[in-house]
């Protein structure tokens, strides 16, 4: 789960990280008022979206008066900010963060991530801040320094001092830098984060080490331990399909294709998507309904997939071990009877109670296309998507169920 910059700064400041003074605003008038509250002569107005590259896309403006702030924010509110991270669809701007403008002497990059190879928290830092880490890695790979943290003892001060010297920080700033590292590390570990990024981390004109920008991502599976973090979720920044799925306990990732997938198990879901592409189609989603696929859960999955207007065929692929094929079949029949489904439905069942499941599908009287293997199911789904009559899969009326059974 991602959070906004202003939220990340609030979280990090509670762990001792120094951040600029700022305030949130939901309208141009409120943004101008926030600037007057902060005082000073110049302010930075930042669109709050879950994406990087905001400055290049016009989502960060430096203003020197109330009029400039209102003009800048009027061009932001209600608009879509399109960056290299959002894709062409962009992210909606519904709030802005007004922050005091600082004199900056130097910019650094600082990030905390989970390194799977070492199974440790890794600190990544660079003296070339203010740009994406991918660009830094490509243009100045020698400027990147790394350190891993031994979980048994945590981040040690000597590691922070080593990083500070490698980055060329003045000796008078080392202790501030170490304190920032320790605050970020504590926030990372205590809140089950998967990423903390400060870009840029700056040395200000008054010789302070300040987090000028901040991003945090959290492990969604651990949010039950941190309800105060879960409350920071902003659904307006999420794919609505993925948001609905998360609220229903389903693992869903929206894609660009036309064939909706309902599968149990992440590995089988990946194999199903690969097979659809091998058959010449494009999957519309990744959807893992999990091991305990009750009829109600399957019906929820159907309604979720159907809500995607790009879906032109649905492939249900279940290998029942923990769950049962008859439960899945009941869920499919329930969903088709309760929900208007105007696209072909292809079902492949295997495993526990497969005969009972096939019987439920055959006796339902519904236009369900059945398959026995994954490849066959994928080919029939692609054929149905293409409206290929030679595949024998374009069936719209329940009376054709016998021909379907013969074809499968």
Contact 35, 24 (CB under 8 A): no
C-alpha span between 188 and 112 (Å, rounded): 8
Catalytic member of 197, 242, 312, 330: 197
For 290: left if phi > 0, alpha if psi spans -120 to 50, otherwise beta; the answer is left
CA distances from 333 to 64, 276, 345, 368 (A): 63, 23, 11, 9
**Catalytic residue selected from 109, 252, 330, 379:** 109
Neighbours of 47 (CB within 10 A): 28
CB–CB of 43/98 below 8 Å?
A: yes
Spatial CA neighbour of 19 closest among 114, 128, 102: 102
Whole-Å CA distances, 285 to 116, 254, 291, 376, 405: 26, 5, 18, 19, 27
C-alpha distances in angstroms, 309 versus 141, 246, 286, 304, 342?
44, 19, 16, 11, 11
The question of whether 379 is a catalytic residue gets the answer no
Give Cα 160 to chain centroid, integer Å: 31
Q: Specify whether 197 is catalytic.
A: yes
User: Residue 117: phi, psi to the nearest 5?
Assistant: -70, -40
Q: Show which residues are catalytic.
A: 109, 197
């Amino acid at each position: 789960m991602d959070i906004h910059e202003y939220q990340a700064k609030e979280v990090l400041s509670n762990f001792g990280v120094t951040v600029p003074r700022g305030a949130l605003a939901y309208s141009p008038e409120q943004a101008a008022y926030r600037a007057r509250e902060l005082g000073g002569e110049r302010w930075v107005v930042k669109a709050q979206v879950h994406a990087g590259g905001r400055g290049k896309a016009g989502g960060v403006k430096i203003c020197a008066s109330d009029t400039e702030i209102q003009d800048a924010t009027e061009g932001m509110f209600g608009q879509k900010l399109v960056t290299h991270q959002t894709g062409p669809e962009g992210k909606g701007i519904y709030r802005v963060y007004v922050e005091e403008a600082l004199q900056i002497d130097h910019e650094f990059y600082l990030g905390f991530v989970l390194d799977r190879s070492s199974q440790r928290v890794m600190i990544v830092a660079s003296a070339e801040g203010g740009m994406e880490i991918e660009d830094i890695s490509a243009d100045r790979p020698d400027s990147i320094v790394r350190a891993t943290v031994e979980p048994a003892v945590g981040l040690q001060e000597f590691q922070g001092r080593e990083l500070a010297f490698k980055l060329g920080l003045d000796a008078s700033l080392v202790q501030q830098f170490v304190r920032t590292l320790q605050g970020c590390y504590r926030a990372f570990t205590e809140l089950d984060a998967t990423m903390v990024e400060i870009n840029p981390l700056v040395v200000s004109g008054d010789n302070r080490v300040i987090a000028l920008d901040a991003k945090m991502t959290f492990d969604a599976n651990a949010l039950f331990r941190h309800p105060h973090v879960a409350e920071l979720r902003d659904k307006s920044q999420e794919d609505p399909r993925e948001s609905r799925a998360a609220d229903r306990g389903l693992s869903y990732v929206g894609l660009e294709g036309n064939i909706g997938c309902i599968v149990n198990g992440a590995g089988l879901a990946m194999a199903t998507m690969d097979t659809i592409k091998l058959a010449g189609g494009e999957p519309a989603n990744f959807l893992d309904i999990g091991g305990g696929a009750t009829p109600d859960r399957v019906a929820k999955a159907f309604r979720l997939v159907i809500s995607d207007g790009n879906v032109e065929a649905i492939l249900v692929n279940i290998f029942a071990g923990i769950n049962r094929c008859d439960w899945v079949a009941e869920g499919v029949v329930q969903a088709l009877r309760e929900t208007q489904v105007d696209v072909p439905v292809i079902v492949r069942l295997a495993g526990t109670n497969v005969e009972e499941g096939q019987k439920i599908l055959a006796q339902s009287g519904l236009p369900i296309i059945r398959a026995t293997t994954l490849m066959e199911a994928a080919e029939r789904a692609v054929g149905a998507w293409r409206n290929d009559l030679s595949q024998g899969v374009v069936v719209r009326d329940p009376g054709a169920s016998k021909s379907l059974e013969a074809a499968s």
